[in-house]
Structure 1
Amino acid sequence: MPFDLAKANPLHGNPLKTRQDLSKALMDLFNPLLPYFSEGGARVRLSAFGAIFDHPAADLEGFARPLWGIVPFAAGGGEFPHWELYRRGLANGTNPDHPEYWGDVSDRNQRLVELAAIGFALALVPEHLWEQLDGTAKQIVSAYLLTARNLEYIDNNWKFFRVLVDLGLERVGVSFDTAKTVQYLDELEDFDIGEGWYRDGPVRRVDHYIPFAMHYYGLIYAVLAKGDEARATRMLERAKIFTKDIRHWFGPDGAALPFGRSQIYRFAAGGFWAALAFADLEALPWGEIKGYYMRHIRWWANRPICDRDGVLSVGYGYPNLLMSESYNSACSPYWAFKFFLALALPEDHPFWQAEEAPAPHFAEPVPLAKPGMVAMHTPQNVVILASGQEHDKMRGSHEKYSKFAYSTRYGFNIEANDRHFDAASFDNMLGLSDDGVHLRMRETLEEALIAGDKLYSLWKPWGDVTVETWLIPANPWHIRVHRIETPRPLHSAEGGFAIPRADFNRDQNETSAGRAVWFGASDTSAIVDLTERATRAGHAQLAIANTNLIHARTLVPQLRGAIAPGRTIFMTAVCALPENEGEAFLSNVPAAPDIAALEDLFKRTGTRVTAFDIG
C-alpha cells in the first residue's frame, strides 16, 4: 500500500516473538509520553478533550497507567531509566501544597482507580518508587493513599483497587485497618456466578472486565497477598476453569473479540494470559497460553492505533472518539500496559521457554452458558452468537452488548445517528422504526435463555411491541428467527456482518428479493431471507464512516421490509468469510428451522442465562 499509517505505531516492525521484543515494545510505547510529563512529574496531559472527571484526574491517569507495564518490567530485571521522574511525580501529586497536586480524593472518584497502579508498584518494586523518598514525602504519600482506601468504591471491579492499594501499603510497612480489605474481597467473591465467570457488579452483563479486571487483579492478589491462602486458592481455581471459555474470545490471528465497553484499552484484553503466567497457573499448556498472548500483541502491531508522535489514540483499530465512553480521557488507553505483566517473570520461566502453539480449532459450536453465548470457529475468525446483555447507561451501549453476533475479524458498528433510520448499519441487528426516522433495536431484555448451542431472547423495542429472537449456529452461517407482535406498522432493516470497504468503489454487490451480498476486496458478507413467502428486499448499505471499531469504512448487506400490524415472522441466514475462502458458501445456505421444534427445545431444556439472571 502507498501509505502505511501503522508506521506511527511504536510496535510496528517489532517481531514480537520474545521476552526481549516485549521489553522493547514497552519502552517504545512509553517513550512518546515523556514530552508530555509536567515539570514536577505528576501530570501527563495528551489532549484538550475532556472526560466525565476533571483534568487533574485525567493527568493522573497519564502518570499512573503506564506503571501497569513499567512495574513488572522492573520486577523482572528491566532497566527503566525514569524512576526519578516517577518518584518526583508521586511526591508532588499527593502533596496538597504543590501546584501539581492531583486533587482531593472522594467517594467513587476516578482517582481511586489510578491509585491502584501505585499500590501495585509499592507492592512489587518498593525499592524504585518508595524507598528512595525522604521521610516527609513518605508521610504525604501514605496519608493520601490511606485517605483514598477508606472511601467508597463503585460496586464492581473497582473494589479491587482498595485491595491493591492495601497490598502496597502493607509491603512498605504502613498500618491500616484490614477489615475494609476483607470486606471488599468477600464482596468481590460474591460476584462469582460459576464456571469461572463473575459479574462486574450487580448488573446484567459480563464483558472483558472479567478477564482483564476481575481475574487479572485476583491473580495478582493470589501471588502477592500473605496469609489468605484459601481465598487465593479459590481465585486460582476460578481462573483455571474460566480459561476454557475465554479462549473462545480470541481469534486464530490473535484478535480479541470486540464486545462490551472500554474497547479503547486495546491489548489490555491480552493481560489475562499474562496474569496466568504471573500466577504460575498452567490453565492450558504453556505453549497455548503463550500463543494466545503473543499473537494478540502482534495483531495490534499492524494497526494505526497511535497519533503521529506514537501516543496511543482513543479508539480501537484506529482513532475514533465515537466508540469511546464518557469516562475515557486521552490518557485512558494506557491501561493497555496491563498486557506487560508477564515481563515480571524471568527468562527461564516455563512460559517464556515454551514454543508458541496455535489456537485449537473447534469444528462444532461451543456453548458458553454463563454469558449466554455460542462460539463458532470459522475461517480466520471466531463468531460469537449472543443472547443479549444490558448496559443502557452509555453511548452505543446497545451495539456494544446486544447485537445478535460479534466477531474477532469484523468487529461491530456503532450507530452515528439515531434520527436517520435509512442510514443506519444495523450490522448483526434487527432495526425497527415506527416513523421511518427514529430507530430502535434490541436494547434491554425481558428474558434470555440458552438450550445447548441455541439462544433465545425476548425484548420490547416499545412498550407495546414484543420481539422474540432465536439464534442457531449453522457454521459458517448462523440463523436468526424473529417473531414480532406489533399493534401498528413498522419499518425494518436487518444487517449482516460489516466488512472493510475498498477505495475507488472497487467493491461489488448483488441484491435481489430476499438476498444481499457484498463482495469486498478482502471479504464477502451475505444475508439471506429464509422466511416462507419472503417480502424483504436485499439492500447494499454503505455504512457511515468511522462507525466500525476495526475498519474506518465498511459495507453491510441488509434485508429491508415493512411489518404489518399483528404477528410477523422473519427467518434470516447470515455469513461472512475472507475472500480467499471462496464463494461456495453462497450456494450452501442453511434451511429454515422449525419454530415449533425450537419452542419445544427451550421448553424442555432452556435455562435462564446466568449473567442475565439477577434481581
Structure 2
Amino acid sequence: MSTSKEIKGLLLGHSTPHPFSQVALSDRGSVQTLLQTLLDPLEPYFSPLKARIKCPGATAVRFDQTASEVEGICRPLWGLACLLAGGGEYRGTQWWIDGIRAGTNPESEEYWGWPRDNDQRMVEMCPLGFALAVAPQIWEGLTGKERENVESWLGNSVNEKTMPNTNWLWFRVFANLGLKKNGGKFSQERLDADIEHLDTFYRGDGWSNDGPEGIHQMDYYSSSFAIHFLQLLYANLAGEDEPERAAEFKKRAQIAALDLAHYYDEEGRSIPFGRSVGYRFAMVSFWGALAYANVDLPAPLTWGMVKGIVLRHLRWWQTQHDMWSPAGTLTIGYSYPNMYMAENYNSPGSPYWACLAFICLAVPETHPFWTSKEENHWAVLPPQKPLPHPGHIMSNLGGHCFLLSSGQACSYPMKGTHAKYGAFAYSSSYAYSVPPGLFTLEQYALASQLGLSDDGGEYWKTRRLSKSQLVHRGSLPVLESLWSPFPDVHIKTYLIPPVESHPNWHLRVHQIHAQGREVQTADGSFAVCNERSIDGRYLDLYGTVTPYEGTSPKLIGNYDLATPEAWAAGPEGAFAVSKGAVGIKALEEKDAGRTATLVNADPNSNLVESRTLIPTLQGTIKKGDKVWYVTGIYAKPKGPKEEFLDGWDKTPEIPAWLKDEIAKDS
C-alpha cells in the first residue's frame, strides 16, 4: 500500500495508472486493498480539523458548499465502516473520528451546521449512522461531551425536520439506529413511523417504488442505492429486536434477487438506467448486502454467482481508466468526467456513494460469499423475463444484456430525465446518451428514443411521461405506452423483445396521430463508438479503410443534411460498426417514406463512449395524418469483427397480431 507521502504526490499523468486498476481481485483481502486505493487520494483534501473533504472540482450544486464538503467526508464512510466492521484496518481511521468530533461541535470553526428542512446534510447522516452502528471504535473515540454533540446533530436536529417523501426517510432511520446501537439519545417513535411510511412504497413481488402513489420510479434507488440495500442492513442490525420486520425485508430481497440478476451481464457491467448512475459501482451493492444480512438465496442462485456478479462488476470498473481526476479522486461522470449527465445534487464528493459496494467487506471471510468459487449467473437465468412492476422486459439475447422500458419517470423533470427514464431500450453494452445542448439532433443525441419536431428540426420533444402496460401477445411479452409529445400529437408505442430466430433485433412500433400539427420524426438506435480502431479518427464508409469497420451510408458530419451519400432508404437502413454493430431499418411497407442516416452526436453525450454516432430514421408526418412506424433495431456487440453484421440482412418478420392491428387501423 502507498505511503502517505506517496499519496500526497499522486498525480495521474498520461501513462500513470490509478492504483485502483492494479489490484488483482480474488478474495476479501484484495477487495480491502481496492477500497484503500479509493480512500488514500482523499488525504490531501481534508480540512485542518478533518471535518470536511473538499474534493477536486469547483462545481456548485443545489445546496451550500459546507454540505458539499460534508458529503466529501461522510460518503467514504460507507467503505471505511464496512472495512472496520469486518475486522479490517485503515491507517486513516482517526481522520474520520477527528472529523466527526469537529463537524458535530457547534463551537468548532468546522461545524457542519444544523440541518434545515429537506437539507442535504440529512443524506450524509445515513453513512454516519451506519458507521456508528457497526464500527464501535468511532463512538469509543469520543468523550462524553463529544457524544452529546453527535446526539444533538444526528438525532435531535433531524427528527423534527421535514424530509422528502422518498428513500430519504431511510437516512433518518439510520441516524436514529446509529445512536440506538451506542446507547445514545434517539427517537424510537420517529424510527418506527419512518419505516411504516416507507412500507407504503412497497408494490409487491419484492419491488419498492422510490416514492408514494402517483410516482413510477424503480431504478437503482429501489435496489442497490437505497431501499433494498438499507432494508437488508437494517435486518442485520435490528433483526434481534425486530425479527418479523427483518424477516419481511429478507423475504422481499429473496424475491427481488431473481429479477435484479438480469441487470448485470457476463462481463460484470450493469445496465445504466435512471438517475445517479454517477455512483458507479454502487449499482452492485444489493448483492453484498444479501450476504451481510445472511439471506437464504432463492434457487437457482448460488453464492458463487453472487460473488461473481460483485467481483466481475468491480473488475469492469477497473478498466475505466478515465473516471479519475489527476489527483486520483473520483470525478462526476460515468466512464469519464461528464457534467452533462450529472444531476443538480452531484457535488465533487457525491460519487463516493459508490462506496456502498464495499458492504461485502463487512461479511465474514467464512461466509460462502467469500469461500465459494465465482460462477456465472447467466448459466441458470432465462434469457428473457418481463418485470411488470418496473415496466421492463429484460433480455440477454444477441450478445448483450439490455432492457426495454415503458412508463417510468422521475418525480420532477430533472436534467436529461427523458433520456434517463423515457428511452425505449437500455443496454450494458451501449450506454444511454444525454443531451449536451438543445438545438438539432446532434445535441439531443436521441439514442433509443423517438424525437418529434414542429419547428424544422431545431427543438425536439421525446417521451417523458407515459401511461404503460405490460401485455402478452401469445407467448411474447410486449410493452405498450401512450404518450403525447405535443397536446395534439398522440402516440402509441409497442416495444417487442428479440426472438430466438432473430436474437440481434428488437422491434419498436409507433402509431402516430399528428392531429393538430405537422411534425418531423427522428427514431434513433443505440449509440455506438465513433472511432476507428487504427487511429481513433471518425469512422469511414464501411470497409473502405478498415476491414469490417465503418458506416452505411457514409458519415458526412454535423448539419450537412443535403449530401445524397449521407442518406439511404428506410428499408435499406443505416448501421455503424466499431465496438460492435448497431443499426436501424424501417420494416413496415406503408411507412411514411422515412429515410436512414447517421447522427454524429455531440461529444460527451454518451455515458461510456465520449464520441458516438446514432443510426437514425427520419420522416415527416403531415398535419391530420395517422401513420404506423415499424422500426427494427439491430445490435451485436460481441464476436469477431467479421461477424458483427451477420444478422443485419436477416430482418425479423412483423408479428401477425401487429399486421392485423395495422390493417384494421388503415
Which SS does the other structure have where 1:520 is aligned?
Answer: strand
Contact 1:251 1:380 in 2 (8 A): no
Contact 1:286 1:354 in 2 (8 A): yes
Counterpart-to-counterpart distance in 2, 1:171 and 1:163: 12
Matched, 1:544 2:558: no
- 1:236 partner letter: K
Which SS does the other structure have where 1:81 is aligned?
Answer: coil
Contact 2:441 2:601 in 1 (8 A): no
Q: 1:597 to 1:366 in 2, by over 3 A?
A: farther
* Structure 1 residues 554-578: Cα deviation after superposition (integer angstroms, max 9, x where no partner): 1210111111222011000001112
- Which residue of structure 2 lines up, in the alignment, with residue 441 of structure 1? 462
Q: Offset of 1:245 from its aligned partner?
A: 0.4
Choose from 367, 370, 379 the match for 2:389.
370
Q: Offset of 1:177 from its aligned partner?
A: 3.0
Which SS does the other structure have where 1:470 is aligned?
Answer: strand
Matched, 1:557 2:615: yes
Q: 1:297 to 1:87 in 2, by over 3 A?
A: same
Matched, 1:509 2:551: yes
Q: 1:432 to 1:141 in 2, by over 3 A?
A: same
Counterpart-to-counterpart distance in 2, 1:290 and 1:262: 24
Counterpart-to-counterpart distance in 1, 2:660 and 2:484: 20
* Structure 1 residues 324-348: Cα deviation after superposition (integer angstroms, max 9, x where no partner): 0001100000000000011112222
- 2:582 partner letter: S
Q: Offset of 1:142 from its aligned partner?
A: 1.2
Which SS does the other structure have where 2:537 is aligned?
Answer: helix
Contact 2:599 2:613 in 1 (8 A): yes
Contact 1:509 1:516 in 2 (8 A): no
- Which residue of structure 2 lines up, in the alignment, with residue 604 of structure 1? none
Q: 1:598 to 1:132 in 2, by over 3 A?
A: farther
* Structure 1 residues 219-278: Cα deviation after superposition (integer angstroms, max 9, x where no partner): 000000142111111000000000000111111111111000001100001111110010
- Which residue of structure 1 lines up, in the alignment, with residue 562 of structure 2? none
Matched, 1:287 2:266: no
Matched, 1:197 2:207: yes
Counterpart-to-counterpart distance in 1, 2:382 and 2:168: 38
- Which residue of structure 2 lines up, in the alignment, with residue 81 of structure 1? 91
Indicate the structure whose relative CO is greater, using CA pairs within 8 Å and at least 6 residues apart. Answer: 1
Give the stretch that moved more between structures: 8-17 or 311-320.
8-17
Counterpart-to-counterpart distance in 2, 1:480 and 1:447: 15
Contact 1:8 1:308 in 2 (8 A): no
TM-score by length of 2: 0.87
Contact 2:116 2:161 in 1 (8 A): yes
**C-alpha RMSD over aligned residues:** 1.8
Choose from 409, 416, 423 the match for 1:403.
423
Counterpart-to-counterpart distance in 2, 1:208 and 1:85: 31
* Structure 1 unmatched ranges of 5 or more: 601-615
Q: Offset of 1:506 from its aligned partner?
A: 3.8
- Which residue of structure 1 lines up, in the alignment, with residue 434 of structure 2? 414
Which SS does the other structure have where 2:573 is aligned?
Answer: strand
Q: 1:6 to 1:142 in 2, by over 3 A?
A: farther
Choose from 235, 247, 252 the match for 2:249.
235
Matched, 1:384 2:442: no
Counterpart-to-counterpart distance in 2, 1:310 and 1:77: 26
Superposed counterparts of 1:493-504, under 5 Å: 493-502=522-531, 503-504=536-537
Q: Offset of 1:520 from its aligned partner?
A: 2.7
Identity %: 36
Q: Offset of 1:311 from its aligned partner?
A: 0.2
* Structure 2 unmatched ranges of 5 or more: 1-11, 541-549, 554-567
Q: Offset of 1:363 from its aligned partner?
A: 6.0
Matched, 1:457 2:481: yes
Matched, 1:525 2:554: no
Choose from 94, 110, 125 the match for 2:135.
125
- 2:18 partner letter: N
Choose from 182, 207, 223 the match for 2:219.
207
Q: Offset of 1:424 from its aligned partner?
A: 3.3
Give the stretch that moved more between structures: 278-287 or 243-252.
278-287
Matched, 1:35 2:44: yes
Choose from 287, 304, 329 the match for 1:273.
287
Give the stretch that moved more between structures: 388-397 or 160-169.
388-397
Q: Offset of 1:599 from its aligned partner?
A: 5.8
Which SS does the other structure have where 1:190 is aligned?
Answer: helix
Counterpart-to-counterpart distance in 2, 1:258 and 1:422: 21
* Structure 1 residues 50-102: Cα deviation after superposition (integer angstroms, max 9, x where no partner): 11010100100111111101111111111112222212111111112211111
Which SS does the other structure have where 2:80 is aligned?
Answer: helix
Matched, 1:343 2:369: no
- 1:240 partner letter: Q
- 1:404 partner letter: F
